[in-house]
Amino acid sequence: MDCISAALTSCFRFAVMCLMVLKAAEPSADGGGWWLPSDFRLEDEGVCNIDVLDGSSLSHQQFIERYAFSRPVILRGLTDNTRFRSSCSKSRLLEEFGSRRVRLSTANTFSYRKVDVPLQEYVDELLKPQAADALGSETLYFFGDNNFTEWQSLFELYESPPYVLPHTGGAYSFGIAGAGTGVPFHWHGPGFSEVIYGRKRWFLYPPDREPHFHPNRSTLSWLTETYPNLNGDEAPLECTIRPGEVLFFPDRWWHATLNLDTSVFISTFLG
């Protein structure tokens, strides 16, 4: 019976992956040269049970009262980062920064290992889709640890979200990652996250509801193995954000991310 159960489990996981993968989808927006319609992508964007608002409809005072200290929110049209997006295309980014070294972290909760490589090498050799059974602790991920002096010319083009929290300042974390990659559940201070190219699926829990997860497994494995078995009380807040959308997460909220496409993204951490 154990052999039969194992076989059925393997078949189920394979079926889930087949349903999630979209190999020939038309891109929903300009991909900046980071992916082609035939590239590996994840189809399932999931549900969206987070408030999604037009940025012009929410004043700073309303943001503070309704969301800043209590729950996440997604804002559309909050900033215009057309120039920044253009500078983040694959050709332009590699032309300017390809020889610069970037610091990669393992894509697990505690990021045990760091590796420095030229950006061109990361894009050519390591920017790949992630399999569901790959360990996050063995997956190198480019996000943050940016040298602000070297990246200043790019960051100067970024229009950060206009909302601020009392007694905080913003620090940027910029990244590029392949489809199926992401960071498993972790928490830190509040911040904003914006997708420049691609799509990123978010899963969030409030500070008093620690999710069930393994810190060295990937978000993709959590989605295929744990997520389908969650009951209503255990389900996360979640949504997929696209270019031009900004997600705000409050202080100490648990969150995990999953890149559905090869994605370029930037976060503004408030500390």
CATH no. for residue 240?
2.60.120.650
pLDDT, tens only, 82-107: 999 999 999 999 999 999 999 999 88
Integer angstrom CA distances of residue 223 from 122, 179, 213, 215 = 26, 14, 10, 14
Mean pLDDT of the chain: 88
> Considering the entire predicted model, what is its pTM?
0.87
Domain count, the chain: 1
Cβ atoms 167, 199 nearer than 8 A: no
Residue 109 confidence (pLDDT) above 70:
yes
Residue 22 confidence (pLDDT) above 90:
no
Task: List, in order, residues 6 or more apart from 162 with CB less than 8 Å away.
Answer: 60, 78, 79
* Residue 192 structural domain: 2-270
pLDDT, tens only, 160-215: 999 989 888 889 999 999 999 999 999 999 999 999 999 999 999 999 999 999 99
